[in-house]
Structure 1
Amino acid sequence: MKRIPLLVRIVLAIALGIIIGQFAPEILIEIAATFTGLFGNFLSFVIPLIILGFIAPGIASMGKGAGKMLGLTTGLAYASTVLAGTAAFLFAKNLYPSFLQGQRGGSFANPEESLVEAPFSVEMTPIMGVMAALILSFLLGVGMTAVQGDSLLHVMNEFRSIIQKVIENIIIPLLPFHIFGIFANMTYAGQVGTILSVFAKVFLMIIALHLLYLVVIYGIAGSMHGRNPFSLLKKMTPAYFTALGTQSSAATIPVTLKQVKKMGVRERVADFAVPLLANVHLAGSTITITSCAMAVMYMLGQATTFADVFPFILMVGITMIAAPGVPGGAVMAAIGLLESMLGFDSTMVSLIIALYLAQDSFGTATNVTGDGAITAIADKLMRKRKQEDIPVSGQNVG
């Protein structure tokens, strides 16, 4: 199994999930749902440990540059998210009048309600939340830098080695089975085909915007490093397809980290930036939510202006930070903003939930793949005139 490339295993898992989900008996789907539920709970438990294990020693090992790296990476992520949402608004504003001509809204149920539930589950409560893990990582990392001691750093480095073993020997080998279960359940429930048949045009436009965004962001990264952007983008395809199945940026951290290092990003920068970006960089989700919100408002005859939507884009980029670990969590986190800033009522909320969840995995995949470009850009900006003696995995990007 290890000899088969991860990308091939993921594609096979998706294809088999769709095929088997069409004729499998409910008992088989329940078994698949049980596994995905257990594995999902395990991922939720491990994710804060991954963040703590990578970010804290990453900050400490970067020394005085940690604060600058944190500010730079976060700033790049937020700018990317806001610009992506703005582009989505402009495209939707100009294309929907022709794309959605004659379309009218209706009542749609939450598609998650049609999924087969696991007959049992085992609660695996994380020892801390994602935000708590981020804050603790920053405190420990900056603290280790300030006291300039090696004892705690040695412990954190050993802890990171343990987490790496968990990733390599448990998470990555089981990911394809997790993805198979998710797609088999979605296919058995019939939610994918039904929702896509209603929102096909909007769906295709969103996917096109995702791809356009990735081409632009990797074009920037490639030009900064003097590399072919499509070559860099190709290295991130395993992370893209993993996120496509897991629907979680945080759950895809192990694969993202592996592929970013293959791009040649310095190991210290990758270990610090990738877990951070999985929680703060949501360009794909912002494209999706903005496009979905515009579609719902257009179908219900509600006029929109840039002045109405731009403050929403600014806020949604911050609000969704708590959502990457939960499939579909971004739209749930944004519901309060949709109601308070865009005036969505219960009918409009149900519409956007249905439209968003139909392609949630593609938005997440765009977030994850974009993380690679943001990390490469940050790596280039952080390089000093004199190169540091830092070991990297693979060929240097720059």
Structure 2
Amino acid sequence: MTLTRKILIAMIAAILLGSLAQTLLAEAGADSTLRYVFHDLLSQGLFLLGGKLFVASLKVLVVPLVFVSLVCGVCHLRDQSSLGWLSLKTISLYLATTGLAITIALILASWWQPGAGVNMTVDGGYTPPPAMPLIDVLVNIFPTNPVQAMAEGKMLQVIVFALLIGVAIGRSGEPGERIGRHFNDWNEVLMKLVTLLMGFAPYGVFCLLFTLFAEQGIGKVGDLAVYMLTVVAALLVHGLLVYPLLLKTLSGLSPTVFLRKMRNVQLFAFSTASSTATVPVTLRAVEQRMGVKNRVAAFAVPLGATINMDGTAIMQGVATVFIAQAFQLDLSMLDYLTVILTAMLASVGTAGVPGVGLVTLALVLQQVGLPVEGIALIIGVDRILDMMRTAVNVTGDAMVSVVVANSENAIDKQTYNNIQAGEQQ
């Protein structure tokens, strides 16, 4: 049985058993044996521990893997002046796909009107953290203390530091070659560790999803069905139509092969709801399954996990229209353009962790004068949607990596077209 099939079985079993446990807990008393077994012992005990350990084992690899892979990629560039063009193409594609994503979301939300007829009643409200000024966002890209940046997981700062180290190694002659070989060895070791951890994926996925559905169940889905369907439809259009069309148009490579090879990565992203935690899995798939050279993959994938938030942008677009309709407020064309621009800028430097989309949504709502308290209405279903949009985010990271690699002649097309290449059984 392949790893993909094992993960799918684990996901289905976790959703069914978790929802069943939530239903039983709703009928059980506070001191019942049933609550102790399903809630205290399993949901908030064994499975919660297993899920947290699984995510932690992935996150512990993110910073060293990104740093080592990016240093390897840059230091072995024959023409380091090409790094500027590589960066420009990658960032431009990420921003373009984010703009397309939120445009699709706004069109579908305006058409389906998920907030029409909703009685906007907020109990308690939602207080967003203060938004960081744009100049501070730009300044924070550059590290003042690289060790602190690695300890705190500030990926943009880690990327910049790795680029500088890689460029310096590439220009240091024989000492640089020795250091470069050392980084290559570390890269191989870390990739092997990713492969080993993927073998535990089905158990980690089961623990994560059982805990989630045992706590929330699926009862809240019906209350916001139209909103959820609008978000899911926009995610499917973007992930299954826009990405394949861009891939085919810009590279000529087969979208079918691409989507088949992305299944494991998408399942990982769905279960963790974190683009950052999925970086090691995405990087392995892009390099070993799709044949993208390390110098492109090591730059594009971690950068995408930081600035490419297409799924989050879709949620923000739909949620903005939903809240406006629920409050019976009209959005002008200028407001729609403001939403697109703000969502694109808000995605830059946003941490790829669960739930961060709600924080950036507050910034978007403030820019168009909508009540931030409306976020409280969608918090209940956001966790489920967060898993879906994270799967779209990582698909975009891989698509851009393949397109940029093809333009740089840095992809092994034989590996890409081989369905079995790099597949873990």
The TM-score normalised by the length of structure 2 is 0.79
Distance in 2 (CA, whole Å) between partners of 1:391 and 1:213 is 26
Distance in 2 (CA, whole Å) between partners of 1:12 and 1:109 is 39
**Matching of residue 43 in structure 1 with residue 68 in structure 2:** no
Amino acid at match of 2:157: A
Kindly state the Cα deviation for residue 13 of structure 1 after the two structures are TM-superposed.
1.8
Structure 2 counterpart of 1:371: 397
Structure 2 counterpart of 1:178: 204
Residues 66 and 142, structure 1, Cα contact 8 Å, conserved in 2: no
**Matching of residue 210 in structure 1 with residue 235 in structure 2:** yes
**Matching of residue 70 in structure 1 with residue 87 in structure 2:** yes
Structure 1 counterpart of 2:75: 60
**Matching of residue 331 in structure 1 with residue 358 in structure 2:** yes
Structure 2 counterpart of 1:121: none
Superposed, which structure 2 residues align to 1:176-325 within 5 Å?
176-189=202-215, 191-214=216-239, 215-261=241-287, 262-325=289-352
- Structure 1 residue runs of 5 or longer lacking an equivalent are 112-124
Residues 55 and 271, structure 1, Cα contact 8 Å, conserved in 2: yes
Structure 1 residues 329 and 178: CA distance shift in structure 2, 3 A: farther
Structure 1 counterpart of 2:141: none
Distance in 1 (CA, whole Å) between partners of 2:211 and 2:161 is 37
Kindly state the Cα deviation for residue 136 of structure 1 after the two structures are TM-superposed.
1.5
3-state secondary structure, aligned to 2:336: helix
- Partner deviation per Cα, 1:301-341 (whole Å, 9 max, x = no partner): 12112311323332333333444431112322442x13531
Residues 265 and 393, structure 1, Cα contact 8 Å, conserved in 2: no
**Matching of residue 82 in structure 1 with residue 109 in structure 2:** no
Residues 291 and 412, structure 2, Cα contact 8 Å, conserved in 1: no
3-state secondary structure, aligned to 1:327: coil
Structure 1 counterpart of 2:6: 9
3-state secondary structure, aligned to 1:292: helix
- Between 1:39-48 and 1:245-254, the stretch displaced more is 39-48
Distance in 1 (CA, whole Å) between partners of 2:167 and 2:364 is 37
Structure 2 counterpart of 1:394: 415
Amino acid at match of 1:48: V
Structure 2 counterpart of 1:118: none
Distance in 1 (CA, whole Å) between partners of 2:120 and 2:297 is 44
**Matching of residue 106 in structure 1 with residue 132 in structure 2:** no
**Matching of residue 143 in structure 1 with residue 172 in structure 2:** no
Residues 221 and 373, structure 1, Cα contact 8 Å, conserved in 2: yes
**Matching of residue 361 in structure 1 with residue 387 in structure 2:** yes
Distance in 2 (CA, whole Å) between partners of 1:318 and 1:147 is 37
Distance in 2 (CA, whole Å) between partners of 1:258 and 1:109 is 44
Structure 1 residues 220 and 365: CA distance shift in structure 2, 3 A: same
Kindly state the Cα deviation for residue 28 of structure 1 after the two structures are TM-superposed.
0.9
Amino acid at match of 1:139: L
Across the aligned residues of Structure 1 and Structure 2, the Cα RMSD in angstroms comes to 2.7
Kindly state the Cα deviation for residue 93 of structure 1 after the two structures are TM-superposed.
1.8
Aligned residues: 371
Structure 2 counterpart of 1:25, from 13, 38, 48: 38
Distance in 1 (CA, whole Å) between partners of 2:195 and 2:414 is 16
Kindly state the Cα deviation for residue 346 of structure 1 after the two structures are TM-superposed.
4.8
Residues 115 and 323, structure 2, Cα contact 8 Å, conserved in 1: no
Residues 296 and 352, structure 1, Cα contact 8 Å, conserved in 2: no
Structure 1 residues 270 and 12: CA distance shift in structure 2, 3 A: same
Identical amino acids, percent of aligned pairs: 24
Kindly state the Cα deviation for residue 286 of structure 1 after the two structures are TM-superposed.
0.6
Kindly state the Cα deviation for residue 19 of structure 1 after the two structures are TM-superposed.
2.4
Kindly state the Cα deviation for residue 109 of structure 1 after the two structures are TM-superposed.
7.8
Kindly state the Cα deviation for residue 392 of structure 1 after the two structures are TM-superposed.
7.1
Residues 320 and 334, structure 1, Cα contact 8 Å, conserved in 2: no
The TM-score normalised by the length of structure 1 is 0.84
Structure 1 residues 192 and 301: CA distance shift in structure 2, 3 A: farther
**Matching of residue 127 in structure 1 with residue 151 in structure 2:** yes
Amino acid at match of 2:221: L
- Partner deviation per Cα, 1:46-92 (whole Å, 9 max, x = no partner): 21112112222112223422222122111111111122112211221
Residues 292 and 355, structure 1, Cα contact 8 Å, conserved in 2: no
Amino acid at match of 1:283: D
Kindly state the Cα deviation for residue 291 of structure 1 after the two structures are TM-superposed.
0.8
Distance in 1 (CA, whole Å) between partners of 2:299 and 2:60 is 20
- Structure 2 residue runs of 5 or longer lacking an equivalent are 22-36, 127-148, 419-425
- Partner deviation per Cα, 1:193-229 (whole Å, 9 max, x = no partner): 1331111122122222112112122122123433432
- Partner deviation per Cα, 1:169-205 (whole Å, 9 max, x = no partner): 23x123322221221112111x251331111122122
Kindly state the Cα deviation for residue 364 of structure 1 after the two structures are TM-superposed.
0.5
